[in-house]
Chains A and B, each alone.
Chain A
Amino acid sequence: MIQPLLEAGWLSAILPEIILSAGGMLLILLTAFSPRSRGITGPLAVIIFIATTWAENLVGEGVYFGGTYEISAITRVFDLTFLLAGILAALFAREYLEREGIEGGEFYALLLWGTVGMMMMAKGLDLLIVVLGLEILSVCIFVLLGYHRRLPVSNEASLKYFLMGAFATGFILYGTALFYGASRSTNITEMAKYFATADASNPLLTVAFILLMSGFGFKLALAPFHPWAPDVYQGAPTPVAGWLSVAPKAATLIVLARLLYAMAPVMAKTHWVTMLATLSVLSMIIGNSVAIVQRDLKRMLAYSGIAHVGYMMIAMLTISDESIAAIAVYTIVYALMNIGAFGVVSMLAKNQNDPQTLDDIAGLGFRRPFYGLGLAVCMFSLSGLPPTGGFISKFYVFRTAIESGHTGVALIGILTSIISVYYYLRVVYYLYMKEAPDGTAVPIGGVFATGALAISVIGILIIGIFPTPLFNMAGNAARQFLQH
């Protein structure tokens, strides 16, 4: 008889994933059998997300499923980031979908399942689990991007992401296969043992690393793998674009942190860190300089996202508990401010086929004071001005980089983030200093979108003013993570 490889407590270990998966199926069945209940699928999805957040506390820490699934304090922090991003996206989507007449349980179900994929990526100790999670996430994103079926731009965004995403997956898989060939295992713990004694001059390892980094670089929208990002964000349903710009990046970063930590002995003897630093510097320079000339808000946020991934990559150059804590905090703050900014754009009542430019928000600060204020706070935070969370998290990333000896990259980061202040504050200028042209539509937002924006603004300010609890939590979690 074959004994199953199940440790005690395996069921409660994947309780969050089970709740999310079952909740998604429930939403789809509800829409199929009772079309009139479409209106409650959005609130129901938010309740499922909150129930999952509660279930996170019941999960016991440990390694499950034959050493392939790790649950620890840091995976919990990242899980909470994914759930936060999901809740904000679902809240902003509720009224957006209603206005566009495309409301349905499928949308929220895909958000829930995408979150399951990200949780698998964050917790997977075996590359098989990571790849599986990545693909669950990717398939959900393909459909979510094309969810606005009547809209040609939405379809085009989906097509572009699909072709580029499948191409990038091919690279990730080939890199995985070559690492398997070198280390005889796909388990990251086993691979770490191999890397500790590996011959760093083996060209196979470098080829595998380049393939893997091209694939992950695509998923992160790192330059020079970024050209899909502006088109996809512009065409996507706006709440999806906000979610896409945050949550998958957080999941990919934690996977990368695991892998780079396992590879640390080899990285010390090769030029891989230089490659990573090049990607980071290119992203910061290209992202920030091209964002200046963008007038479409979603494209501008796309280039700003490329730059922000560049900042986060600075912390990845040397993996330490400080740098993992910095990334965890950065992704939480980034989720709040970027989904908040996309959320305000999603409220602009306009044909979604047309670009949503700076002119559309002219004078918004006086016509809709709360939305104007919310967007302004998000912009201050994205540009890294105190007293917002964006300042604290960026400061922490740069400090980590300087302490681990990457002063040059950190300097470029600081210089480019000074450039970025120009285009972020231009949005604030349009909000408060420009007169609205006649006939500009007033943004429409109901209680859900307003609530989500309030969560973003309050979160950004609380983290900015009282950062210590969050930093302590992330720091403790990261220390446990690296003890394995």
Chain B
Amino acid sequence: MIPTQWFLILSAILFSIGVCGVLTRKNGITIFMSIELMVNAVNLTFIAYARQFDQLHGLIFVFFIMAIAAAEAAVGLAIFISMYHHKDSIDVDDANLMHW
């Protein structure tokens, strides 16, 4: 059996890649993909712990997180479509109407 630490290290790396993606990318969809990567890294952490503790609790949490991520994706893509209508672009640097 693979030790739990390996899963935790992998999920920490995935989470960090996701954070870097959010901070460096300019395309809205790519940023959202990076956020999904972060959320899936969290899922991996939950599953690894649930396996180690032999509990159902962590697995149930994962199901809910997946549902949450799907709901967020639906609303998020609608927002991007609306932005595309206004600006012909989903580059977040173009969302610059407001600044102090």
**B:48-80 near A, CB below 8 Å:** 49, 53, 55, 57-58, 60-61, 64-65, 68, 71-72, 75-76, 79-80
| A139 touching B60, Cβ below 8 Å | no
A180 touching B61 by the CB < 8 A rule?
yes
Q: How large is the interface on B (under 10, 10 to 19, 20 to 34, 35 or more residues)?
A: 35 or more
> Counting chain B CB atoms within 10 Å of each CB, which of A162, A235, A290 scores highest?
A162
* Bound CA span A181–B55, Å: 11
Report whether B97 and A163 are in contact in the complex, using a CB–CB cutoff of 8 Å: no
A-contacting residues, B4-55, CB 8 Å: 8, 15, 18-19, 22, 28, 31-32, 35, 38-39, 41-42, 45-46, 49, 53, 55
User: Are A173 and B65 interface neighbours, CB within 8 A?
Assistant: yes
Q: A477 — which chain B residues lie within 8 A by C-beta?
A: none
The answer to the question of A280 belonging to the interface, with a C-beta cut-off of 8 Å to chain B, is: no
A256 at the interface (CB under 8 A from B): no
Question: Is A321 an interface position by the 8 A CB rule?
Answer: no
Contacts of B45 in A (CB 8 A): 174, 177-178, 181
Cβ contact within 8 Å between A170 and B18:
yes
If A128-B61, A160-B95, A163-B32 touch, whether A139 touches B39 (CB-CB below 8 Å) is no
| Distance from B55 Cβ to chain A, minimum over Cβ atoms (Å) | 7
B76 with A142: CB separation less than 8 A:
yes
With a cutoff of 8 Å between Cβ atoms, the chain A residues found around residue B82 in the complex are 146, 149, 155, 158
Give bound CA distance, A76 to B9, whole Å: 42
Chain A: interface residue total (CB-CB under 8 A):
42
Residue of A nearest to B86 (CB): A152
**Are A173 and B39 within 8 A (Cβ)?**
yes
B98 at the interface (CB under 8 A from A): yes
A-chain residues with CB within 8 Å of residue B46 when the two chains form the complex: 177, 180
Residues of chain A with a CB closer than 8 A to B99's CB? 231
Chain B residues with Cβ under 8 A from A156's Cβ?
83, 95, 97-98
A414 at the interface (CB under 8 A from B): no
Q: Which of A152, A167, A170 contacts B97 (CB 8 A)?
A: A152
Can you list 9 A-B pairs, Cβ within 8 angstroms, ordered by A?
Answer: A138-B72, A149-B82, A157-B98, A159-B83, A163-B35, A167-B35, A174-B41, A177-B42, A353-B97
Q: With A135-B68, A143-B75, A162-B75 given, can you name 7 additional A-B contacts, CB distance below 8 Å? A: A142-B75, A155-B86, A157-B98, A167-B22, A170-B39, A174-B15, A174-B41
Interface of A toward B, CB cutoff 8 Å: 128, 131-132, 135, 138-139, 142-143, 146, 149, 152-153, 155-160, 162-163, 166-167, 169-170, 173-174, 176-178, 180-181, 184-186, 230-231, 234-235, 290, 294, 299, 353
